[in-house]
Amino acid sequence: MATIILYQKPGCATNARQIQALKSAGHDVIAQDILKEPWDAEELRSFFGNMPVGSWFNRAAARIKSGEINPDTIGAASALALMVGDPLLIRRPLIDVDGARCAGLDHEPVLSLLGRKTQDDLEGCLHEANPRRCAQA
C-alpha cells in the first residue's frame, strides 16, 4: 500500500473515479485542490518528466477548446507560465508517490500501483458524455 498525493479539481467526476480506483487498489489517497495550490514553475515541471510539452495540458480546458491556446505550439517555459497563472490548464491528476511524480494515470508509478499495464478508461473526461457538464474543465 502506498500513500498517494493526488492533485485534482474538486467536483470533477473523472478525478473522483480516479481516486476511487486508487483506493480500491488498497492505497491511501490524499486529495489536494490543484486550483488552490501555490504552484511555481519548477515544482510543476517536476510532474511532467520527459512528456512532450503539448501533453502537459488539460485538453478539456475551455481556453484550449476555444483555440485561445494551442498546446502543440508552446514552449516549456511559456506552458509553465500559463499553467501557474491558470491551473485549469494543467493535465490532471498530478500524482506524487514518495517523490515519484507524474501527470495523468497513464504513467509509472501509477500503472504499477493500479496493477495495470494501461490506464484503461480512467482518464477520459466524464462530463463530455454527460448532458450536465462541469462548470469548468
User: Strand 94-97 and strand 3-8: pairing?
Assistant: antiparallel
The Cβ of residue 64 has, within 10 Å, a number of other Cβ atoms equal to 17
Q: Which of 12, 102, 125, 134 is catalytic?
A: 12
What string of H, E and C letters represents the secondary structure of 64-100?
Answer: HHCCCCCHHHCCHHHHHHHHHHCHHHECCCEEEECCE
Q: Is 12 a catalytic residue?
A: yes
- Length of the chain in terms of residues written: 137
Catalytic residues: 12
